[in-house]
Structures are given as structure tokens and as C-alpha cells.
Structure 1
């Protein structure tokens, strides 16, 4: 088969479409004939040499895919060859075929195109595990989503609204802010021209903040939280290190979680299998009802993954960039 290889850490042009050994399913795994994958910011970090795959995971980039099950490993009973699915991966998505634990596979949602389904697993599992399973967002609460026009952000806005929460979002360009508003965010705050803290405090403070910035937003996020609020950090686009004011947290009884998805184990209370199961049971019905959809910014042929990476790095991407076979 063919897959995208990283020639050496560097710029997008280090990505190459090359021959690669066919994956074989281990016990409890399936092999998926990939229809599409999708680009995530973690992929850019791996390409730059800053985010190596977990032990035992494929060196091939790609944290999600959609396609058709081609082979079953020993002990797999839920799935059949020919099933149309999408899957959460620890790696391997930028390829013609990928092996994945069966417990990380989701059925293609009814009414969703098979190619577009490739953009769902990573964002849905990230948002659901952090905002719902960890932070416990409830109807009537206020959710603040940073980077509201990206893949994670657009999903989070819709999930929050579908569950009855109020949602505020930050975004950059006018087109990005307009998309956030169309998906149900109100207010939508320009991170280029406005300080989100006084705006959110005027609303009573955020009960949950989903943050992709990390260090640069840490203190302001704590200020914007309501008492008993929860800050869920899922990215470090604004740096890794910042001073943490524990006094501010203590006075307002704040909660802070910093949880990635890729490196989690398969099993256990914080494992991927439990997340995928909850997503399938509680979020997939919202997707199938059209209440949560994945805006697609662009479809790029898989061999041209370098162009897709350059597109994401250039910024102002609204929704997901799909890599199509």
C-alpha cells in the first residue's frame, strides 16, 4: 500500500507519498480500507518532530479516518467485512489502509457522507471527553470555546447548544466569527480586537472553558470562569509554561484539567474505548439528527498532504481539511 511518510522533521514538504507495508490486524483489531483521513494540529506537531506517536502506534501520521472494514482480527465479533465506519486512531490515518482496535471504531453515522465522516472521530471524542465526561457541562450553563471556527471549536459549539448550554466563542476573521454565530455561538468575540474576559464576566462567567491556547490564555481563562468553573486545556498553541495563580483558583473553587486524547490507553475509566462508547451512545444520535455536523473547509487528495498542512498552518481554516483517497 501507499502512505505518507515524514522524510525528516521540518516544513510541510517533508511529507512524502511512499510505499509502506500493509498493516495486519492483531487480536481485537480490524483493518480499514481508508476512504479519507483528516488533518489535525497534532499532525503538524508530529511532522515537526515535537509529537512522537505513543509506544506501539504507527509512525504514519493521522489520528482519524473513515472507510470500509477489510479484515478482522481474532476475537472481533461486532464488526463485519464491508461495514462502513470511521475510527479514532493513535496514528496511521494518512494511508490506504490502517489497523485499529475494534473498540475505537464507530459506525458511519446515518445521513453522513463516508468521506466527511473522516473528520468526526477526533473532534467528537476530544470535545465529548473534555466538555461532557470531564467538565460535566449541563443545560443552562455557559460554555466558552476558544478557536470556535476550527474543527474542535465548531463541534464544541454545536454540542453545547444541542445539550441546552449557552455558548460563547472566540475567533479571528469576520468569516470565522460568522460561522461560529451560524452554529449557535452568542456572543462571538474577536480575539484580535477584543478581550474576552470582561465580555464573559458580564454574562456571569463561564462554567466551562475549552481552551486550545494553553499558557498565553491561562490567567485570563481563570478570570473568566464563574465560581466552581472548569478550565479544560486541550492545546498549547500559546505556549507550554505560565504562572498559575492558585489563590484565584481557591477563592472561586475552580477546576483545571489538561487532557490529551492520543496517548490515552485503550481501556480504563479515561481510556479510548470508554470515550468511543459514550460518543456512540450519546453524541452519535445528535450527529445523525443533523444537530452536530462537521463543516468541511477543503478536500485535498491524500498524496498532497503537504498542501493540506500548509493550508492549516496559514490559518483561518473553518472546520476540517479532509484528505481524500
Structure 2
């Protein structure tokens, strides 16, 4: 099969089509003929040599796909041959075929394009587990999301609106702020022209946000805590501005704030399958009804994965970037 499996770290130019064996589905796995694959920032880090795949995962890039099940491993009875699914992967998505744990697959409902389905698992699993499970966000609460027009940001807006959250997002331009408002954010702050912490406090009447979903890290952390409400929950999911930060622990204690975070890729199949089951019960019916759709920025052919990576690194995209792999879309 054709795949993107760079043998050296580097820039987008290392992303070249190569021939690799078609994977065989193991116990509890299915083999998917891939129609489309989502592009995510962890793919960029892996390409640069900064985020190696977890033990046992393929070196082929790609954390989410959509396509048709063409083979079943042992002990798989929940999915049938010929079924269209999308799946969360630990790797292997930038390829014509990918093996996925059956428990990490979700059926593609009628009306959802495979390019749309491929853009959902990574952001949906991430936002759900961090915003609703770790941060316990509940209807009526105010959530501050950094990177409001990223794949994570747009999914947080979409899910937040469906579950009754009040959403404040930050973006890097006035145009992106306008787009975030169109997507459904209640407020959008241009962090290049305004102090997001002061604006967040102003927009909440001085109280601060109940939850902050942060992918920035570094010097954003103390500023985040400054505009986090008493009893507020701060969830870190990436460290784009650095993994180290200095905070005032006394203030954290006095305001009874919770500081937490998580990563998803290295979690067990059992954990991810539990999340998939919860999503199937609570969120996937909304997808089937057409009420939840990903925001798609652009679609690139697999052979131009380099172009897709250049685009995401430019920071100009709004929503998800998808690779078109197969014919069925």
C-alpha cells in the first residue's frame, strides 16, 4: 500500500509516498480501507522527531481515519465487513489501509461525508475527555478556550453550544475572531491586540471563567489562573509555548482552583474504547441528527501531505485539514 512513513525527522519535505505492507488486524482489531485521514498537530511534532509513537504503534503518521472495514481480527463481533467507520488511532492513518481497535471505531451515519468523519475522532475524544470528564463542565458555565479556530477550538465551540456552555475563545486575528463568532463562540478575543486575561474577567463581570482549556502552556498558565474563577478548573492539553511555568501557589489555594491536564495518544485501548462507548451514547446521536459537524478548512491528496503540513504550520487554517486517501468520500 501507499503510505506516508518518513524515515528521518525534518520539514514537510520528508513526507513522501512510500510502499509499505498492508497491516494485518490483530485480536480485537479491524482493517480499514482508508478514504480520508485527519491532520493534527501531533503529526507535525512526530515529523519533526519530537513526538515518537508509543510502543507498538506504527511509525506511519496519522491519528484518525474514516473508511470501510475490509477485514476483521479475532474476537471482533461489533463491526461487520463493509461497514463505514471512523477511528481513533495511535498511528498509521496516512495510508491506504490502517488497523484500528474495534472499540475505537464509530459508525459513520448517513449524511456524514467520510472526509468529515475523518476530521472528528482526535478532536472529539480530546475535547470530550478534557472539557467534560476532567473539567466537569456543566450547562451554564463559562469556558475559555485558547486557539478558538483550531481543530480543537472549533470542536470545543460546537460541543459547548450543544451542551449549554458559554464560550469565550482567543484567536490571533480579527478575521479569525469573526469566524469563531460565526461558528458559535459567544465572545472572541484577539490576543495580539488585547490582554485576554483582562478581557475574560471583563466579560464575566470580574468573576472569571469556570473552565479553561489550554493548549498553549508556558507563560500563559499564570495568566490563565488570573482569569480563572474561584473553584475553577484549568486543563492543559498541549504546551506550544513551553512545558514550564511559574505560578502563585498561595493564590491557587486561596481560590480553590484545580490544575489538571492529560494526553490521549498513549492511553490504553481499554480507556479509549470506554470513551468511544460514551461518545456513542451521548454525542454520536447528535452527529446522526446533523447537529454536530466538524469545521473543515481544506482537503489535500495524500501525496501532498507536505502541503497539508505547511498549511497547518502557517497557522492560517480554520478548523481541520484532511487528507484524501481513497475514492469513497
TM range (shorter): over 0.9
Contact 1:173 1:316 in 2 (8 A): no
**Aligned-partner Cα distance in 1 for 2:184–2:304:** 33
**Is the 1:214–1:238 contact (alpha carbons within 8 Å) kept by the matching residues of 2?**
yes
Asked if structure 2 preserves the Cα contact closer than 8 Å seen for 1:158 and 1:291, the reply is no
The CA distance in 1 between the partners of 2:258 and 2:98, in whole Å, is: 37
Per the alignment, residue 79 of structure 2 pairs with 79
Note if 1:206 corresponds to 2:209: yes
Q: Equivalent residue for 1:163?
A: 163
Query: Normalising to structure 1: TM-score of the pair?
Result: 0.97
Gaps of 5+ in 1: none
Residue 55 in 1 paired to residue 55 in 2?
Answer: yes
**Alpha-carbon distance, 1:280 to partner:** 1.4
Bigger CA drift: 278-287 or 216-225?
Answer: 278-287
**Cα offset for 1:175?**
2.7
Structure-1 separation of matches of 2:172 and 2:109:
31
- Cα deviation for residue 315 of structure 1 reads 1.1
Query: Which residue is equivalent to 1:240?
Result: 243
Q: After TM superposition, give the deviation of residue 145 of structure 1 in Å.
A: 0.8
Residue deviations 1:219-256 (CA, integer Å, cap 9, x gap): 01111111111111111111111113221211111111
Asked if the contact 2:116–2:293 (Cα under 8 Å) also holds between the matched residues in 1, the reply is: no
Matched, 1:65 2:65: yes
Task: Quote the residue 2:269 is aligned against.
Answer: 266
2:36–2:115 Cα contact (<8 Å) kept: yes
> Counterparts of 1:223-238 in structure 2 under 5 Å?
223-238=226-241
Aligned residues: 322
Deviation at 1:211, TM superposition (A): 0.6
Runs of 4+ aligned residues of structure 1 deviating over 3 Å after TM superposition are none
TM-score by length of 2: 0.96
The structural deviation recorded for 1:290 is: 3.1
State whether residues 67 and 115 of structure 1, in contact with CA within 8 Å, keep that contact through their aligned partners in structure 2: no
Q: Secondary structure of the residue that 1:131 maps to in structure 2?
A: helix
- Residue 69 of structure 1 aligns to a residue whose secondary structure is strand
Residues 32 and 99 in structure 1, CA contact (< 8 A), matched pair in contact too: yes
Structure 2 CA distance for partners of 1:53 and 1:187, relative to 1, 3 Å: same
C-alpha distance in structure 2 between counterparts of 1:245 and 1:13, whole Å: 43
Counterparts of 1:233 and 1:151, CA distance in 2:
16
Partner of 2:244, secondary structure, is coil
Taking only aligned residues, the RMSD between alpha carbons, in angstroms, comes to: 1.0
Q: Which runs of 5+ in 2 are unaligned?
A: none
- Shift in Å at residue 288 of structure 1? 2.6
Q: Which residue of 1 aligns with 2:149?
A: 149
Q: Which secondary structure does the structure 2 equivalent of 1:260 belong to?
A: coil
Instruction: Return closer, same or farther for 1:290/1:177 CA change in 2, 3 Å cut-off.
Output: farther
How far the C-alpha of 1:187 sits from its partner, in A, is 1.4
* Cα distance in 1 for residues equivalent to 2:97 and 2:22: 7
Return closer, same or farther for 1:178/1:288 CA change in 2, 3 Å cut-off. farther
Given that 2:39 and 2:62 are in contact with CA atoms closer than 8 Å, whether structure 1 keeps it comes out as yes
Q: Please give the per-residue CA displacement for 1:258-290, whole angstroms capped at 9, x wherever unaligned.
A: 2011011112xxx11111111111111222333
